[in-house]
Structure 1
Amino acid sequence: MAEPCVVVATMIAKPGREDLVEKTLRAAAPAVHAEPGCLQYALHRELKQPGRFVMIEKWASREALREHGQGTALREVGVALADALVAAPEVRVFEPLPAGDPDKGAL
């Protein structure tokens, strides 16, 4: 059986490009939510550094994540943000380790 994986993707907008980054990521969310295996795809902004965005994702399997990485929605985000970020997004993939209360100890 496939194991889920959690992704934390961090993007830092260039000064003055924060609105474009937020708008682009928000616009992509419905398409990503509809992708097979997407369990969670939630955008966040850092309070102390409003140009830093973090997408917290949960995928049903590594294969679903791989397909997302090659999909249209992510490709369109890449094109739209090509000149809007200070560097390439930092993407980290994690293995869930549930603990304690099942509703609170796992994404």
Structure 2
Amino acid sequence: MTHPVVLVATMVAEPGQEELVERTLATAAPKVHAEPGCLRYALHRKTGTTGEFVMIEKWASQEALGAHMKGAAMREVGAALAQALAGPPDLVFLDAITAGDPVTGAV
């Protein structure tokens, strides 16, 4: 049985590049939403900051995530943000723990 994959990706913009990073990530979202296996791809900004962005992702499988990481949308994002981020994205993979209500207790 294939289990969904949850990923939290944090990206920090170089000073002065905040608008470019936000615009690039927001523009990519509809393309990523259309990718096979995309269950969630939601852009956030860390409260109180202008340049820390957090993408919360959920993929139907590791294979779907792998295809996404190699796909056209991510190639475009990588090219556009090559000089705009303070460093590589911080990727945190999460394993769900079943607790409480299966809908509200899971991402």
TM-score (norm 1): 0.96
Please state how far the C-alpha of 1:99 moved relative to its aligned partner. Answer: 1.1
What residue identity is the alignment partner of 2:106?
A
Give SS of 2:16's match: coil
Task: Give the residue type in structure 1 aligned to 2:14.
Answer: K
2:41 — aligned with what? Answer: 41
Give the total of aligned pairs.
107
- TM-score normalised by length of structure 2: 0.96
Tell me the residue number matched to 2:78: 78
Deviation at 1:95? 1.6
Structure 1: give runs of 5+ residues left out of the alignment: none
Matched with 2:103 is 103
Structure 2 stretches lacking a partner, 5+ long: none
Measured on the aligned residues, the alpha-carbon RMSD in Å equals 0.8
Runs of 4+ in 1 over 4 A off after TM superposition: none
1:41-97, Cα deviation, whole Å (9 max, x unpaired)? 000001122210000000000111011111000010000000100001111211222
Name the SS of the counterpart of 1:86 in structure 2.
coil
Identity %: 60
* Residue aligned with 1:88, SS: coil
Say yes or no: does 1:88 pair with 2:100. Answer: no
Corresponding position of 1:32: 32
